[in-house]
Amino acid sequence: MLLQGRKGPCAVVGLALTVLGSQAAADFVNPMVPAWRGAANADFYGWEIFNSAFGGPNIPNYAGTESGAALFNFGFGASINSQGNLQASGGPLSLTVYAGASEQVVEVIVNVATIGTIINDNSAILGLYNNSGGGLTVSPSSVEIRSNETAPDGQGQIQTRTYRWIVPPTGSVLPRFELNLGSASGNITLDTLSVDIRYIPAPGAMALLAFAGTLALGHRRRG
């Protein structure tokens, strides 16, 4: 599946943590927000309301997000709870985010807010592929637990985790972006997930920037 991204404005990520009766709801708490979010060579996708529990696309809907990506759950036994969260009471969640890239991907940052069972760090894999199926897969360069609280009524943990990938140079554009992430087991609720992608500008764009810089320098010398 190939979905083409588009650029959009920077979003302000709210921080919230509320407990409603015996249910906990967690937005991001202390997420990693890159300084380059909203730049011309970056895409931002986010999900906080889910409408497909299994096998169907969830379209980005977080404040300030862009279109051009879709999140799927391929784990059995999931449902959408009354708060619009993706909840797995049986087997683990098995998440995949599909997007498209017209430039080389250089860095990816993923924030994920969950309640209950923790995310399986070994499941976090970034894949970049060409249209013939070739490409590369990359494990995270770093994993951080940005916030961790004990959920009420023995529901596990309320966590915000951040995964960061530094992607080695590929030498060419790999247009198919695929991000995989899953839970250690069932009994987990996915509240919010965001994906920030930074690109290397295409050679033509870099040459244009260099040319513009040369013109500006020449203008200053003549002034």
What does the pLDDT average to over 31-37? 98
Question: Do residues 88 and 78 lie in contact, with contact meaning Cβ atoms separated by under 8 Å?
Answer: yes
Q: Looking at per-residue confidence, does 3 or 60 come out higher?
A: 60
User: What is the pLDDT, as a whole number, of residue 126?
Assistant: 98
Structure confidence by residue, pLDDT tens digits, 181-209: 999 999 999 999 999 999 997 654 443 34
Structure confidence by residue, pLDDT tens digits, 82-136: 999 999 988 999 999 999 999 999 999 999 999 999 999 999 999 999 999 899 9
Q: What residue type is 164 in one-letter code?
A: R
Contacts of 126 (CB under 8 A, 6+ apart): 108, 137, 138, 139, 140, 165, 167, 178, 179, 180
pLDDT band at 25 (very low <50, low <70, confident <90, very high): low
Q: Looking at per-residue confidence, does 141 or 201 come out higher?
A: 141
pTM, 2 dp: 0.82
Residues in the chain, how many? 223
Looking at the predicted structure, is the pLDDT value of residue 164 above 60? yes
pLDDT band at 155 (very low <50, low <70, confident <90, very high): confident
Q: What residue type is 189 in one-letter code?
A: T
Structure confidence by residue, pLDDT tens digits, 41-70: 999 999 999 999 999 999 999 999 999 999
Question: Do residues 111 and 27 lie in contact, with contact meaning Cβ atoms separated by under 8 Å?
Answer: no
Q: Cα 32 vs. chain centroid, distance in angstroms? A: 11
User: What is the pLDDT, as a whole number, of residue 16?
Assistant: 31
Q: Looking at per-residue confidence, does 218 or 100 come out higher?
A: 100
Closest CA to 187 of 151, 139, 135: 151
Task: Retrieve residue 142's tokens.
Answer: 């770093």
Cα 161 to Cα 135: distance, rounded to the nearest angstrom: 27
Please, what's the largest Cα pairwise distance for the chain?
Answer: 72
> In the chain, where are the structural domains located?
17-222
Measured between alpha carbons, how far is residue 24 from residues 55, 60, 79, 92 in Å?
Answer: 25, 22, 16, 19
Average pLDDT score, the chain: 84
Cα 126 to Cα 218: distance, rounded to the nearest angstrom: 43
pLDDT above 70 coverage of the chain, percent: 78
Looking at the predicted structure, is the pLDDT value of residue 214 above 60? no
User: What is the pLDDT, as a whole number, of residue 154?
Assistant: 79
Cα 25 to Cα 149: distance, rounded to the nearest angstrom: 12
The SS3 assignment for 41 reads coil
Q: What totals of helices (H) and strands (E) does the chain contain, helices first?
A: 1, 14
DSSP 77-94: TEEE-TTS-EEESSS--E
